[in-house]
């Protein structure tokens, strides 16, 4: 069966510090991968998605970037965090076909102080 791992679970970072969140999927090949952010009162916002190694699409211009160095690995990064980057970050995967359901990792609660 497929599983998705995301870490760390919580993170407290000062403004201006870098960020790296990692997500890996097991039990499937060539998944579509996604990074969402959930901020209070704003719902789930799609940040990046990837249909293959090295292929990244950005939905919202921002202080963040994403990379997919391996088929089942997705990384969210920032060079300098802003206060507004605080939120609950969720990695998700779906099968490589349209209209398919998303399965989420356990999430990272990021607080930028």
Partner 1 sequence: QKEVEQNSGPLSVPEGAIASLNCTYSDRGSQSFFWYRQYSGKSPELIMSIYSNGDKEDGRFTAQLNKASQYVSLLIRDSQPSDSATYLCAVNARGGGADGLTFGKGTHLIIQP
User: Contact residues for partner 1 (CB under 8 A)?
Assistant: 32, 34, 36, 41-44, 46, 49, 51, 57, 59, 90, 92, 94, 96, 98-107, 109
The answer to whether 74 and 30 have CB atoms below 8 angstroms apart is no
- Whether the bond into 39 is cis, omega within 30 of 0: no
CB of 51 to partner 1, least distance (A): 5
CB of 37 to partner 1, least distance (A): 11
Q: Quick one: 8 or 18, whose CB is closer to partner 1?
A: 8
Return the structure tokens found at 42.
Answer: 């704003």
CB of 49 to partner 1, least distance (A): 5
Short-list 74, 81, 82, 79, CA closest to 36: 74
Q: Quick one: 11 or 46, whose CB is closer to partner 1?
A: 46
Return the structure tokens found at 73.
Answer: 């690995």
């Amino acid at each position: 069966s497929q599983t998705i791992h995301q870490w760390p679970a919580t993170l407290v970072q000062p403004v201006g510090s870098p960020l790296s969140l990692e997500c890996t999927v097991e039990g499937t090949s060539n998944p579509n991968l996604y990074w969402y952010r959930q901020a209070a009162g704003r719902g789930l916002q799609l940040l990046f998605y990837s249909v293959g190694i090295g292929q990244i699409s950005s939905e919202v211009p921002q202080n963040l970037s994403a990379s997919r160095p391996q088929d089942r690995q997705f990384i969210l990064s920032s060079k300098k965090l802003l206060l507004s980057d605080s939120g609950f970050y969720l990695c998700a995967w779906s099968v490589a076909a349209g209209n398919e359901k998303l399965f989420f990792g356990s999430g990272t609660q990021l607080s930028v102080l």
